[in-house]
A and B are shown apart, each in its own frame.
Chain A
């Protein structure tokens, strides 16, 4: 489903932008992970809200982890790029 009005725009509007030390002049829209760090990992948690209580937040993270591994077919081995001993 698509919400036409919520279409991410290529040009950053008001609010934060991302700047990379390799391309200091290239200002980009902030990445989804940075948003999720803040919108799921912080922000005020209100008691008494209807759906996501404090206890549910971990559940959201677990769902996300499942989601990430499901969209990435190739799950890298924990030994990749390193010697197990």
Chain B
């Protein structure tokens, strides 16, 4: 197979200026624009040998390939945020040719226009809360147990202490989420991250995205620092500003009301 396919990064409103000349996307190819129905699809040429269904499936199991592709995709989307508010597409959205891309714009035109209007001027901030691992109580680490019953009693105390610490951390996570949701236009709670993939210490209690007007970002970041900066029970990690990935699909707005959707992240 020596053919070429079209990889679409994002849909945007018409751009005021050209794409940065030095911008490179997946496979090192410079992205270009496909325009139709008052919309722009930021597109790149990719080899069929990598992106046809079979090779793509194989590549997606290769963590290194996945990372390179995801970072290249994100690099293009990040560059677009300097020009406009992009609607990022899911990784590896591929068409046979430019006509296929135009047909996708045609079919989705109303929804794209509505979503672009809803997200214009907004950015996404990611906040993750982890339970901190705490050192065992000095009392519990003292002399050897004097009997089997003593051992069981201590064991029970340890378990209870650990459960209490986790409950405290979860409560802090809920409080922080509610406070941030009140400052956001929309909220999306992602599933807790797999610690083997994230390599992050402590249990991930909250993994949420908040949609914030760009000009209120500073305020939002300060609030995160104020709420999570110096806590002994939880560690807070902030990422952003992202293009509004988590809010780009049509259903996001209907499903995410800004009042503490916390399910799936705690417990």
* Chain A residues at the B interface, C-beta cutoff of 8 Å: 1-8, 13-22, 24, 30-52, 57, 59-60, 63-64, 66-69, 71-72, 81-83
A-B contacts, 13 of them at CB < 8 A, read A6-B68, A16-B78, A21-B225, A21-B236, A24-B225, A42-B90, A44-B90, A49-B95, A50-B95, A51-B52, A51-B94, A52-B56, A82-B159
Instruction: Specify which chain B residues have a CB less than 8 angstroms from the CB of A38 in the assembled complex.
Output: 88, 209, 242, 245-246
Number of B interface residues in the complex (CB < 8 A): 81
Which of A20, A33, A63, A71 contacts B60 (CB under 8 A)? A63
Instruction: Specify which chain B residues have a CB less than 8 angstroms from the CB of A18 in the assembled complex.
Output: 237-239
Supposing A34-B239, A83-B155 touch, asked if A41 and B191 sit within 8 A by C-beta, the answer is: yes
Taking a contact as CB atoms under 8 Å apart, the answer to whether A43 and B190 are in contact is: no
Instruction: Specify which chain B residues have a CB less than 8 angstroms from the CB of A31 in the assembled complex.
Output: 198, 200
Distance from B143 Cβ to chain A, minimum over Cβ atoms (Å): 22
Distance from B130 Cβ to chain A, minimum over Cβ atoms (Å): 9
Closest 8 CB pairs of A and B: A15-B78, A38-B245, A5-B28, A39-B91, A43-B90, A21-B236, A6-B72, A6-B68
Q: How far is the CA of A44 from the CA of B248 in the complex (A)?
A: 6
Instruction: Specify which chain A residues have a CB less than 8 angstroms from the CB of B242 in the assembled complex.
Output: 15-16, 38
Which of B63, B89, B235 contacts A43 (CB under 8 A)? B89
Chain B, 213-232, CB within 8 A of any chain A CB: 225, 228-231
Supposing A15-B75, A19-B238, A43-B248 touch, asked if A35 and B70 sit within 8 A by C-beta, the answer is: yes
Instruction: Specify which chain A residues have a CB less than 8 angstroms from the CB of B68 in the assembled complex.
Output: 2-3, 6-8
* Chain B residues at the A interface, C-beta cutoff of 8 Å: 5, 8, 11, 24, 26-28, 51-53, 56-57, 60-61, 63, 65-75, 77-79, 81-82, 87-96, 100, 103-104, 107-108, 115, 126, 155, 159, 162, 188, 190-191, 193-194, 196-198, 200, 207, 209, 225, 228-231, 235-242, 245-249, 252
Taking a contact as CB atoms under 8 Å apart, the answer to whether A20 and B198 are in contact is: no
Nearest-neighbor residue (CB-CB) of A39 within chain B: B91
**Which one of B51, B71, B247 has the highest number of Cβ atoms from chain A below 10 Å of its Cβ?**
B71
Nearest-neighbor residue (CB-CB) of B252 within chain A: A42
Nearest-neighbor residue (CB-CB) of B41 within chain A: A46
Which of A30, A42, A48, A83 contacts B248 (CB under 8 A)? A42
Which of B91, B103, B190 contacts A48 (CB under 8 A)? B103
Nearest-neighbor residue (CB-CB) of B123 within chain A: A16
Q: How far is the CA of A47 from the CA of B63 in the complex (A)?
A: 26
Taking a contact as CB atoms under 8 Å apart, the answer to whether A6 and B240 are in contact is: no
Supposing A42-B249, A51-B94, A68-B196 touch, asked if A8 and B71 sit within 8 A by C-beta, the answer is: yes
Q: How far is the CA of A73 from the CA of B159 in the complex (A)?
A: 28
Taking a contact as CB atoms under 8 Å apart, the answer to whether A60 and B249 are in contact is: no
Distance from A82 Cβ to chain B, minimum over Cβ atoms (Å): 7
Distance from A45 Cβ to chain B, minimum over Cβ atoms (Å): 5
Q: How far is the CA of A15 from the CA of B104 in the complex (A)?
A: 27
Which of B92, B197, B229 contacts A24 (CB under 8 A)? B229
